[in-house]
Structure 1
């Protein structure tokens, strides 16, 4: 089995921190060229740029808000200019949310849905002309989509919609040789604003492997889906949560 991605051209949204950063670095380490974007954290983006230099030329870190169609078009244009096409698209950009339903105002609802769901549509529609047979789209969902979580109805709804959207798109794009899959992480240790320590210990106790996930756990699964070893896998949701 070979997971080498030599020559593959990739786009990763939300790649400057956490899981996104791990995905970007894993793709580059396996030989892919990567364009990624960030929204606000210039310091993290600059640090990522420096680390990508160790893998050689051909990578780029750009500022873009993937909720904005004009930013997405510029991002797609940069991929066209730099690569001429795309083999791998990882829709990773996302936000969390926590609110009881009585306090869930439309502004907060749209903040989460626009980032976690609408952005997938905007990015995918913009880059599809750059994709051809044997290319792949990997959408980062969440295992919470199947379990549900109190006070996170908008977040859970957005991630559940990612699964249905991806399944439909897999059938639509399959005749063109484009695969679409979802990775559904559990609780990842690097994520900001995580649960308090006592809740973390409770989650660990309820997890088959007895630990929280690490960003590299998700990045490894992305590398597999980006490789030719997953050439007959499409329309799937792969849960990477340690067995919660």
Structure 2
């Protein structure tokens, strides 16, 4: 019982920034980190019910938690976000670069604006957040970039997304080498198909068809859960992963 209690608080007192934390994987990470004892700052781009419900859940969880509006693809917003982390928490022990999005589009229909937006919203956003928060990180800190298994298996209609997620892996590897002497670890976590609320929001027939198709691609015969991704992130930011850096960890049920 005592061991379980200690495990539940594996991030006690840690200060963590999770970008894009109001929905999906980001929300799961923010809540899991708070429940593991961390102080959590997270951000969102679009107001809505998800923001209010996250604020409510975090308010019920011990710790200093802040939900801020910020577009991490915008350098001025990133500056405000990092300043808030410094002011409210006095620094950071982990940065989780989760925010990102794209619209599927056949390659021949992909115009320059869509390519640039995908690059800015995924890869450049992670760069902006990482660079600005580095002064807030000390020895023992951890950076986790959320990638995607599609970077290694490909995706019809996702050339732009696949390209930026592949680039994120290279960025992670080089940052790990550069920041290693400072005691800062950098890893990528690449999820496979995860059951989030986005799937639940589809018409039931469509959602069930997608669940069946994507489940059949995995060795485990099912979709992953948000909490299964969050628990690996918690591990990577904890002392249990003190000798893990520069890695790309697939959490995909073996696709």
Q: TM-score, normalised by structure 2?
A: 0.92
For the residue of structure 2 that corresponds to 1:211, the secondary structure is coil
1:1-244 matched pairs, under 5 angstroms? 3=7, 4-190=10-196, 192=198, 197-244=208-255
Q: TM-score, normalised by structure 1?
A: 0.96
**Distance between the aligned counterparts of 2:140 and 2:55, measured in 1?**
28
**Distance between the aligned counterparts of 2:225 and 2:190, measured in 1?**
13
1:191-234 CA deviation, whole Å, 9 max, x = no partner? 63687643432321221111011111110101100110000000
Is the Cα–Cα contact under 8 Å of residues 16 and 45 in structure 1 kept in the other structure?
yes
**Distance between the aligned counterparts of 2:150 and 2:217, measured in 1?**
14
Is the Cα–Cα contact under 8 Å of residues 97 and 154 in structure 1 kept in the other structure?
no
RMSD: 1.5
What runs of 5+ residues in structure 2 fail to find an aligned partner?
Answer: none
**Distance between the aligned counterparts of 1:91 and 1:38, measured in 2?**
12
1:62-96 CA deviation, whole Å, 9 max, x = no partner? 00000100000000000000111100100000103
**Distance between the aligned counterparts of 1:203 and 1:36, measured in 2?**
29
Which runs of structure 1 show a deviation greater than 2 angstroms over 4 or more consecutive aligned residues?
A: 191-200
1:43-68 CA deviation, whole Å, 9 max, x = no partner? 21111011001112410000000010
**Distance between the aligned counterparts of 1:63 and 1:148, measured in 2?**
33
- Give the CA deviation at 1:108: 1.1
What runs of 5+ residues in structure 1 fail to find an aligned partner?
Answer: none
**Distance between the aligned counterparts of 1:197 and 1:205, measured in 2?**
12
**Distance between the aligned counterparts of 1:196 and 1:53, measured in 2?**
32
Is the Cα–Cα contact under 8 Å of residues 143 and 185 in structure 1 kept in the other structure?
yes
How many residues matched? 244
